[in-house]
Chains A and B, each alone.
Chain A
Amino acid sequence: MNYTFDFTPIFQAWGLLAQGAWATVYISAISMALGLVFGIVLTALRMAPLAPLRAFAIGYIELVRNTPFLVQVFFIYFGMPELGLRLNAMEAAILTMTLNCSAYIAEIVRSGVESIRPGQIEAGKALGLSTPDVYRFIVFRPAIRAVYPSLCSQFVLMMLNTSLVASISAQELTYAAQMIDNRTFRSFEVYFVLGAIYLVLSQLFSVGLSMIGRVYFSYPTK
């Protein structure tokens, strides 16, 4: 082994990496928020009293969960223009991420809702609350709390998934690294540093999310 490691050109390009890291955080945060909203809508459809709505939700969720994210990205970015939907790389990235996230989130949220004792829902109904109110004010928070750890690890996986949108030239962290690689030909060093940055990002996401959880779910349970 007579390879000499040289990390200097990579550290010299720290500005690019910082920009890329910021874009990664930005794409992830937006897609997670939108994905959460759509995921909850999907959960509602998944549990709706009308069979066609349920079938649609199940079909969507399984289609997304059983195909690679990368293919979904290509489908949206290269395929959608055929249907007249022309998106730039960043838009395509965020749209695909959101669509992808929502399916996984829907599955997690559903199991949260199913963990709520029926007595809670009955108590709400007995008080005269409408079904939407029962879910919004009574079921929602305890349901999310029950699955919060899986939700968080899903969020971290999604953040790591954003590395794939570099393949359509969406300018995030991996894209920035690839530019540095093209300039310096220090491939191993570049991806080594890149991996380290992602590792830090994923730890930060974990800590951040669990802090949010501690605030939002601060009520005591037995």
Chain B
Amino acid sequence: MIRTFGFPELLFILDGAKWTVLMSLAAFLFGGLLGLLVALARTSKIRPARFLALCYIQLFQGTPLLIQLFIVYFGLPIIGIRVELWLALITGLSLHASGFLAEIWRGSIQAVPEGQTEAARALGLGYISRMRDVVLPQAFRISLPATVGFMVNLVKGTALAALLGLTELTRAGQLMSNITFEPLKVYATVGLVYFAICLPLTLVSSRLERRLNARG
């Protein structure tokens, strides 16, 4: 009945990591698309749009991710959308990511010197071209360290899926801990797997940051 923590158990945990990576990537992708829209709204000239975007961001930055996931999970069926757990989780994580990425990108868009927009306007470029060809490429470069830094938070955030019952990395650990009675080893292993995923991102982020600061 009681198993020791060996190779099969390790494999089970690594298998859970698939979900962790998948959810992180999906949430970053969808959250990024939505977040970009919110960031544009937040920096637009239209007051109500700015205000709504501000509320949106505050909502996600002012409540725990776990509660956001619960609300989405229990709320989707209420508005008539019945989906599998993993889809609900990706939806919740994407919304969460969009709030945080919007705030990061708002900062970067505003960090692009005003003169750039003015120069683009002087050339007769419209809003879309101004943003796409002039402002966003520069903002992108400025935002890169923080964006990559947020990816680390997102990977860590997927751990919360365990509390809703999806067998990703953390929940795989919980299950193995329950059958091996070796929680110390199991959670240390789980932690190390997260570490292996997150550390490269952290390193890239701080390297980008140094490069950005060096260029001034």
The answer on A and B forming one complex is yes
Interface size, chain B (Cβ < 8 Å)? 42
Contact B156 A78 (CB under 8 A): no
CA distance A24 to B190 in the complex (A): 27
Number of A-B contacts (CB under 8 A): 117
- With A160-B64, A202-B62 known to touch, is A74 a contact of B163 (CB < 8 Å)? no
Please tell me if A72 contacts chain B, counting CB pairs below 8 Å. Answer: yes
B117 located at the interface, meaning its Cβ lies under 8 Å from any Cβ of chain A in the complex:
no
Q: Is A191 an interface residue (CB 8 A)?
A: yes
Residue of B nearest to A164 (CB): B66
Q: Which of B67, B79, B177 contacts A191 (CB 8 A)?
A: B67
Q: Which residues of B contact A167 (CB under 8 A)?
A: 163
Contact status B184-A68, CB under 8 Å: no
Q: Are B177 and A78 in contact (CB under 8 A)?
A: yes
- Whether B67 lies near A74 (C-beta < 8 A) is no
* Binary contact readout A49-80 vs B (1 if CB under 8 angstroms, 0 otherwise): 00000000000001101111111101100111
Q: Does A174 contact B (CB under 8 A)?
A: yes
- How far is it, in angstroms, between the C-alpha of A145 and the C-alpha of B201 when the chains are bound? 29
Residues on A with C-beta less than 8 A from B162 are: 70
Q: What is the minimal beta-carbon distance from B113 to any residue of chain A, in angstroms? A: 22
- Residue A83 at the chain B interface, CB threshold 8 Å: yes
Q: Which residues of A contact B67 (CB under 8 A)?
A: 163, 174, 191, 194-195, 198
Cα separation A156 to B61 with both chains bound (whole Å): 9
B157-188 with Cβ < 8 A to chain A: 157, 159-160, 162-163, 170, 173-174, 177, 182-184, 186-188
Give the distance in Å from the alpha carbon of A69 to the alpha carbon of B184 in the complex: 15
The residues in A between 189 and 221 inclusive whose CB is less than 8 angstroms from any CB of B are 191-192, 194-195, 198-199, 202-203
**Cβ–Cβ < 8 Å partners of A72 in chain B:** 191
- Tell whether, in the assembled complex, residue B71 and residue A71 are in contact, meaning their CB atoms are under 8 Å apart: no
Contact A188 B62 (CB under 8 A): no
B-side contacts of A66, CB under 8 Å: 152, 156, 194-195, 198-199, 202
Select which of B61, B62, B163, B183 is within 8 A of A70 by beta carbon. Answer: B163
The residues of A that contact B63 with a CB separation of less than 8 Å are: 160, 195, 198-199, 202
Q: Which of B59, B75, B194 contacts A188 (CB 8 A)?
A: B75
Q: By the criterion CB–CB under 8 Å, are A199 and B62 in contact?
A: yes
Is B187 within 8 A of A198, CB to CB? Answer: no
Q: Is B68 an interface residue (CB 8 A)?
A: yes
| Contact yes or no, B156 A75, CB < 8 A | no
Question: What is the CA–CA distance of A62 and B163 in the complex, to the nearest angstrom?
Answer: 25
Residues of B within 8 Å of A62, CB to CB, are: 199, 202
Closest beta carbon of chain B to A184's beta carbon, Å: 13
Tell me if B80 counts as interface (CB < 8 A to partner A): yes
Question: Given A79-B183, A82-B182, A188-B74, does the pair A71, B173 have CB atoms closer than 8 Å?
Answer: yes
| A164-B187 Cα distance, complex, nearest whole Å | 16
Smallest CB gap from B67: residue in A: A195
CB pair A174–B66 under 8 Å, yes or no, is: yes
Report yes or no: A75 in contact with B191, Cβ–Cβ below 8 A.
yes
Interchain CB contact under 8 A, A163 and B66: yes
Question: Counting CB contacts under 8 A, is A187 at the interface?
Answer: yes
The CA of A83 and the CA of B155, in the complex, are separated in Å by: 29
A151-192 residues with Cβ-Cβ distance < 8 A to B are 156, 160-161, 163-164, 167, 174, 187-188, 191-192
Q: Which residues of A contact B (CB under 8 A)?
A: 1, 3, 62-63, 65-72, 74-75, 78-80, 82-83, 156, 160-161, 163-164, 167, 174, 187-188, 191-192, 194-195, 198-199, 202-203
Q: List 20 A-B contacts (CB under 8 A).
A: A63-B195, A65-B152, A66-B195, A71-B159, A71-B173, A74-B170, A74-B183, A75-B184, A78-B183, A79-B184, A82-B183, A160-B62, A167-B163, A174-B64, A174-B66, A188-B71, A188-B74, A192-B75, A198-B62, A198-B64
Besides A79-B188, A82-B183, A192-B71, 5 new A-B residue pairs in contact (Cβ under 8 A), listed by A number: A71-B191, A75-B188, A156-B62, A164-B160, A198-B67
